[in-house]
Amino acid sequence: MNMQWTQTIALFVDAYRELNARKLFWIALALNALVVGVIASLGINENGITVIIWELDTRGLNSSIFPPEQFYHTLFASFGVGFWLAWISTILALLSTATIFPELVTGGVDTLVSKPISRKRLYFTKFATGLLFTFAQVMLFTTLSFFVLGIRGGVWSIGIFVAVPIMLVFYSYLFSVMAVVGSMTRSVIASVIVTLLFWVFVWALHAGEQFTLLGETVQRVEITALERRLENAKTVDGRAPLEKDLESAKASLEVWRPIHISLYTLKTALPKVSETIQLLNRSLRTAADIPTPNEDDMGDEAVAGRNFLGAKYAKRKDVETAVQAEMTTRPIWWVIGTSLLFEAGLLTLGAWRFSRRDF
């Protein structure tokens, strides 16, 4: 057991030395610090937004409406997490760690497998060491943001450190694809391209599932609204067009429902990259006590205003409330648990293939 721990620690130390020797690692850390610096340069007072020493006259957006602590929490959640960590920082991490598994199977494995360490344990340990890059980036970004929130926003919010484990899990989804493709093809370029294409695919799948969920929900709300109107309709002439619209809405629902179920089923089997980021944003909003939009501000206009998705009577407020209710029924275990199951299965396949390879 002591030998195994010694080997594992040695692999982590070696991985840190490799990162330390790469310019991209230090460039990425510097960029993370720069982004936090940009956030810190922004401020808000009773007159509006400030940029370092300059003051912008934005009276519709000032500290009385948007307190400093909520202002910086929102910047951290929307720009820091939603854009920087979820996209730019992740791409930098993928590019920086893309060589780990191709190098492992094209030469770096010779010395490692000559030691008393199993190939499967070596594979999984190298995967764990590959997460160091993202951990370092997110930890630096979150720690600096913590001090910005405390000094500039006046609130020391330890809750923002939830970004570290969630972003690490988010990155591991994509890195598992890169690890398996890299170890099987021995190509850095192939592993990067396939991983990015996979990322685009799961994002497009999420967009399609959300759109079909909206379409199905619109028809459900439309049916409910029509049934209410039919209950109040007094004359045959008044009921006839409503009954026709009701039949049309039911027919549309039968089209939307199977498409949405199919996309949702496929989505369940794959990593939920978008939902993981949304989960983090909800956690940050809760930690910052940032209010959600008031349903009373949604308006009572039809979703379409003009026959949107075949609906004439569904109200925007009712549709958004129904969609939100559906999304909140999707628990953390579905978002992260099923994603980690996909990752575990993929890595098990990669480790099995790696253990059977001739070197």
Q: How confident is the model at residue 1 (pLDDT cuts 50, 70, 90)?
A: low
| Spacing of C-alpha 330 from chain mean position | 15
Q: What pLDDT, on a 0 to 100 scale, did the predictor assign at position 288?
A: 57
Q: Which of 25, 39, 37 is nearest to 136 (CA)?
A: 25
Instruction: Tell whether pTM > 0.85.
Output: yes
The answer to whether residues 317 and 300 touch, using CB atoms and an 8 Å cutoff, is yes
pLDDT, average across residues 224-240: 83
pLDDT at 119 over 70: yes
Q: What pLDDT, on a 0 to 100 scale, did the predictor assign at position 108?
A: 54
Q: How confident is the model at residue 295 (pLDDT cuts 50, 70, 90)?
A: very low
Q: How confident is the model at residue 306 (pLDDT cuts 50, 70, 90)?
A: very low
H-only helix segments in the chain: 2-20, 23-41, 68-75, 90-97, 100-103, 109-113, 119-130, 132-151, 163-185, 188-232, 236-269, 273-288, 316-328, 332, 338-355
pLDDT at 151 over 80: yes
More confident residue, 110 or 46: 46
Q: Which of these ranges, 29-33, 229-233, 309-313, 330-334, has the smallest mean pLDDT?
A: 309-313
The answer to whether residues 85 and 166 touch, using CB atoms and an 8 Å cutoff, is no
- DSSP assignment of 319-339 equals HHHHHHHHHHTS-HIIIIIHH
**What digits encode the pLDDT tens for the residues 161-213?**
999 999 999 999 999 999 999 999 999 999 999 999 999 999 999 999 999 99
What mean pLDDT value characterizes the chain? Answer: 86
**What digits encode the pLDDT tens for the residues 7-46?**
778 878 887 787 777 888 899 999 999 999 999 999 988 8
pLDDT at 94 over 60: yes
Q: What pLDDT, on a 0 to 100 scale, did the predictor assign at position 304?
A: 46
Percent of the chain with pLDDT over 90: 48
